[in-house]
């Protein structure tokens, strides 16, 4: 029986990457007097590295070898902290929006008594800020568990964050569905024994999503239908609680 929905955040709940995190990284670099600039294409390549601080460290290793080895970790941590501050201000200013169908499905699932949880590699501050600004007042309390970067140092595709969330929910993998947007996220969910639904975005649409229950364009709204790209079919024009129960049931027979 389906009891819980576990959501990734960046790229899944909201289009945070291209016009959110990327912009915040570039502002942090400028503040530090660095001439680094991650354009849309370059940032898409860097997204293969999970975790913001890890992404900076990878970039330094490959793109800024002149920085002494002993200074790299401290610089990555400093830049990431400044980047987070910029990102939080962007959320306050309304620059980051939920993807189609997200607010609707979360509300429907909460009203239907399904448990909601988060499993992400981003920081808890980023998650809380997004949910508080993009959802109705009090909706943060809908989430029974928030598993974030502080809880799981091993980033996706490692299953650590999902394993931690499942333990805190005290539910089995068969009672949950995961929602992801990337191959790394999907591999993380599958490695934790979860069934997963993928909502693609511009950065991830060409990745390998073998093993997902269904790969869809987004969750859909009454005025904007969701499209199934592969996997289990969509009975209506959008993903709702009834559809999730149907997908879950068909996958556990």
What is the b/e burial string over 73-89, where b = at least 16 CB atoms within 10 angstroms of the residue's CB?
Answer: eebbeebbebbbebbbe
Radius of gyration of the chain (CA): 18
10 catalytic? Reply is yes
Cα–Cα separations (whole angstroms), residue 176 to 26, 63, 82: 37, 41, 35
Cα–Cα separations (whole angstroms), residue 87 to 91, 148, 248: 6, 16, 35
Q: Which of 8, 15, 158, 218 is catalytic?
A: 8
- Report the alpha-carbon distance of residue 214 to residue 208 in Å, rounded: 12
Collect all residues with Cβ–Cβ distance below 8 Å to 127 and sequence separation of at least 6. 9, 118, 120, 146, 148
- Report the alpha-carbon distance of residue 247 to residue 245 in Å, rounded: 6
- 180 and 6 Cβ atoms separated by less than 8 Å: no
One-character DSSP codes across 107-140: HHHHHTT-EEEEE-SS-HHHHHHHHHHHS-TTGG
- Report the alpha-carbon distance of residue 234 to residue 237 in Å, rounded: 7
- 115 and 5 Cβ atoms separated by less than 8 Å: yes
User: What token pair was written down for 244?
Assistant: 């999730």
Indicate which residues carry an active-site annotation: 8, 10
């Amino acid at each position: 029986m389906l009891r819980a929905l576990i959501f990734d955040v960046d790229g899944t709940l909201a289009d945070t990457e291209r016009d959110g995190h990327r912009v915040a990284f570039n502002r942090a670099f400028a503040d530090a007097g660095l001439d680094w600039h991650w354009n849309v294409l370059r940032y898409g390549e860097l997204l293969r590295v999970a975790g913001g601080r890890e992404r900076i460290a990878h970039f330094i290793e490959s793109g800024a070898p002149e920085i002494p080895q002993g200074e790299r970790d401290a610089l990555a941590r400093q830049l990431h902290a400044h980047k987070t501050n910029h990102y939080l201000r962007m959320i306050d200013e309304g620059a980051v929006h939920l993807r189609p169908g997200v607010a609707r499905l979360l509300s429907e699932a909460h009203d239907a008594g399904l448990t909601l949880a988060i499993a992400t590699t981003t920081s808890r501050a980023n998650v809380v800020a997004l949910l508080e600004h993009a959802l109705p007042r009090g909706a943060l309390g809908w989430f029974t568990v928030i598993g974030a970067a502080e809880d799981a140092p091993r980033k996706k595709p490692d299953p650590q964050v999902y394993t931690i969330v499942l333990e805190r929910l005290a539910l089995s993998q068969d009672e949950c569905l995961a929602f992801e947007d990337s191959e790394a996220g999907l591999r993380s969910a599958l490695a934790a024994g979860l069934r997963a639904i993928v909502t693609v975005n511009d950065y991830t649409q060409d990745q390998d999503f073998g093993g997902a229950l269904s790969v869809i364009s987004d969750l859909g709204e009454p005025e904007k239908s969701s499209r199934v790209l592969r996997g289990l079919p969509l009975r209506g024009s959008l993903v709702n609680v009834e559809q999730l129960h149907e997908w879950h049931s068909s996958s556990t027979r």
